[in-house]
Amino acid sequence: MATTTHTLSSTTRTLKPVRVCFSFAAYAKNVIHHLRSSDIPIMEGLSDFEFSFIESSFGFTFPPDLRSILREGLPLGPGFPNWRASSPQQLEILTNLPILGLCKEVAKRRLWFGSWGEEPDDREKAVAVARKKLKKVPVLVPIYRHCYIPSKPSLAGNPVFFVKGGDVRISSFDVAGFFEKTDFRCEDCVCQSELSAPMKPPAWAATAASRIEFWSDLAERGRTEARESQMWRSGALGSCLDDVASRLRDGGWKEEEVKEMMAMDGCDERKKHIWATDSEGVECQLRLLSLTLLRAGWNKADVVYSLGFQCDGDSFLLDFQRPNGNGLGLEVA
């Protein structure tokens, strides 16, 4: 229960401070009513014994605001964790998904933090180091699909994070904002709710995201990279590379493979981001993309045709034989 104090004054008298109470229990009733009206199945809320069993089994504590909602009623259906009926193995996988996703990014050389020390050359060793470091960060408690709330600090008002692999961002400033805005038919958890009348946010709803160890930094890193990627994608350069991506799709590459190849993760294999903001940067990336295709078994003629490198006659957009300062010369016979 949260409290605040208001002082009322006038020209004739001053009233004593009035203490107003904001009850999480009352808000939880509103949330459960909102979910029911949105055709979300609701079961009896978790008991104190069930809370204790879950927290001791998986090593985290439900934050107070989420605890109040789950005590009032247990949402079920696709995307919601079934804290009562799911097996311990299922719940363990669910709570570990964010860390497993980040470890996969480390294995692909897409993620590393300088605070972890020097990145090992061996991928298995890098993943082992990352897993050890990630065990120390606050556990994320699943709410719905890829949306989680940090278990620490054990306070109301923690932000809700969207975490899917290496995609980490803030979904809402707190639980109140999450249930107010989320359309539970939408898999990415970011759609504005249209299932029923919008919920009125409580007086204690957060107006900014509080800072959470590790996860806030990771979300900020994602925002920065998204801005840089958008800048890189703008103008003629973006149009050129979009055309390359289209040719790859026409050539039979899957969307996930195209996205990985077009991720612009720099000019070496260690995924240090170098964004293509000029013709030299684009040439660097196209060389890297060409090298990826050649290593996948494509021959030179296929690469030239698929990426549209051939100009008039026997001339090419890129010189496949010429090495550059980044060591990306494609020495093709």
Report d(CA 10, CA 317) in Å as an integer. Answer: 78
Structure tokens belonging to residue 243: 């055309």
CA–CA separation, 268 and 152 (whole Å): 37
Q: Helix, strand, or coil here: 312?
A: coil
Strand ranges, E, within the chain: 2-6, 18-22, 42-44, 73-75, 140-144, 147-150, 160-164, 167-172
Is the preceding omega at residue 323 within 30 degrees of 0, hence cis?
A: no
For residue 235, the model assigns a pLDDT of 54
DSSP 8-state code for residue 45: P
Which amino acid does the sequence have at 64? P
User: How far, CA to CA in Å, does 296 sit from each of 96, 253, 274?
Assistant: 33, 11, 23
Instruction: Give the distance from CA 140 to its chain's centroid.
Output: 12
Cα–Cα distance, 233 to 244 (Å, whole number): 13
Which residues of the chain are modeled with pLDDT < 70? 1-23, 185-198, 222-242, 256, 259-285, 305-333
State the pLDDT at residue 322.
40
**Of 57, 62, 60, the residue nearest 86 (C-alpha):** 57
Measured distance CA(194)–CA(37) in Å, rounded:
11
CA separation for the pair 291, 296 (Å, rounded): 9
Q: How far apart are CA 233 and CA 240, in angstroms?
A: 9
Give Cα separations from 190 to 12, 181, 221, 330 (angstroms). 51, 8, 19, 43
86-134: pLDDT as tens digits: 999 999 999 999 999 999 999 998 899 888 999 999 999 999 999 999 9
pLDDT at 11: 45
> Which pLDDT does position 80 carry in this prediction?
95
Regarding pTM above 0.75, the answer is no
Question: Tokens representing 116?
Answer: 């972890």
Residue 189's pLDDT is what? 53
Report pLDDT for 187: 56
